[in-house]
Amino acid sequence: MGFFDDLSKKASETYRNTAEKTNKLTREMKLKSSISDAKSKIEKIYAEIGKKVYEKHIREENIDIKSELVEECSKIDAYAKDIEDMRMEILALKDLRLCKTCAAEIAITAKFCPKCGAVQEEIVSTPEVVAKSQSEATVEQTAETPVDSQEVIEAQPIDIQTVQQETVNNEESNSSQE
């Protein structure tokens, strides 16, 4: 039974790894979409600011940026902060971080920046922190998806004889092609 137990463990591990990678990719795509939306909102605000400035120019009025454009500028600041937060989350999903010196994207485990050589702070990630972030991502994904549209995936039994026969057939076809 050891072979079947090993095969079952390997299949479960592969499924978990695939599901985790899929969740990360899905989250990354959602973040990139949100970043794109925020950038387009910033562009609209830029256009509003430009329009106000130009209208003041046409009327030959003085432009008091502090009082007249403070609301638009604070909106841009908020969107820019959101974009940066989402960018940092994308880096974390890819197991990357930014170098504190040159802002290059580096591996999260890097001790030195490969671009500038600066010493990097060691990031300590405890299993509780990793488990918490993974469970938050799962809860967030579940909360965003309506219950009726969630797919239920059932494991299908594996016919070992069929797998073995396919392996033998593949090996024979590979050796005959050489």
How high is the pLDDT of residue 165? 52
Break the chain into its structural domains and give their ranges: 17-94, 97-135
Nearest in space to 23 (alpha carbons), one of 31, 11, 35? 31
Alpha-carbon gap, residue 151 to 167, rounded angstroms = 31
**Cα separation values, 4 from 11, 18, 168, Å:** 10, 21, 18
- In this structure, what DSSP letter does residue 27 have? H
Percent helix, strand and coil across the chain, each to the nearest 5: 70, 5, 25
How high is the pLDDT of residue 101? 92
How high is the pLDDT of residue 63? 74
- Mean pLDDT for each 10-residue chunk of the chain (178 residues)? 76 84 92 96 94 88 80 93 95 92 92 92 60 46 42 43 50 52
Q: Is 1 helix (H, G, I), strand (E, B) or coil?
A: coil
